[in-house]
Structure 1
Amino acid sequence: MEEAYLTALMSELEHKISNAAAKLGDLGEAQEYVGTSSDGLVTATVAGASVIVDIHILAKRRLDRHDLGEAIVEAVNDAERRSTETLRVKSIGVVYRSCRVIRWLVRR
């Protein structure tokens, strides 16, 4: 294949990957994820990867300060884990589609 042709293909691929990554970033920032403590008494909502939006405590009097702190941390960590997993799965989809585009461009 000609070098100019391959350069044009790579440029087109870079543009498509850049657009897909931007869409993925926008999706991650706009979505909220909810996590729960192991005892179910605290829920936390995060936006994107780690912006805490809300913490809801269902039973303040059942937990002492230490246990309440641990429950809040568990809930926030759970919400962040859900966010990370969702974005990771969507990223894998972007990479897979990019690989398909590469194969298609190379075969042209």
Structure 2
Amino acid sequence: MGPWGVRVHHPEGVEAHGVELARGGLFLHCAEPFPPLFTRLSLTLWLGGEEVPCEGEVVRHVDAAHARVWEVSPGIGVQLVSPCPRLRELFERVRGQSSASAGDPGLSGR
């Protein structure tokens, strides 16, 4: 696992096989069927060596057809819900490090 990772706790078993950090949320690479929009997900994020439980809400679906056109992986966009101050701090630190090292602006531009 890189400098971050995620475990999704959902009764329908969403399996994320990758994650990209974005401003205020993340994008989980996963297969369809996706949880419906506005579904709340319990998550455990690993950021900067710390494990942080949190909640997110599904705000976007990127199906296989759109993923091919946009040259990204299929999956779901998840907005963090009421992140605690420590999570925000870790999130921004790890996001900043990964953007600087990869030269990638993250998902905020997609």
Q: TM-score, normalised by structure 2?
A: 0.25
Q: Which has the larger Rg?
A: 1
Q: TM-score, normalised by structure 1?
A: 0.26
Greater strand percent: which structure? Answer: 2
Greater helix percent: which structure? Answer: 1
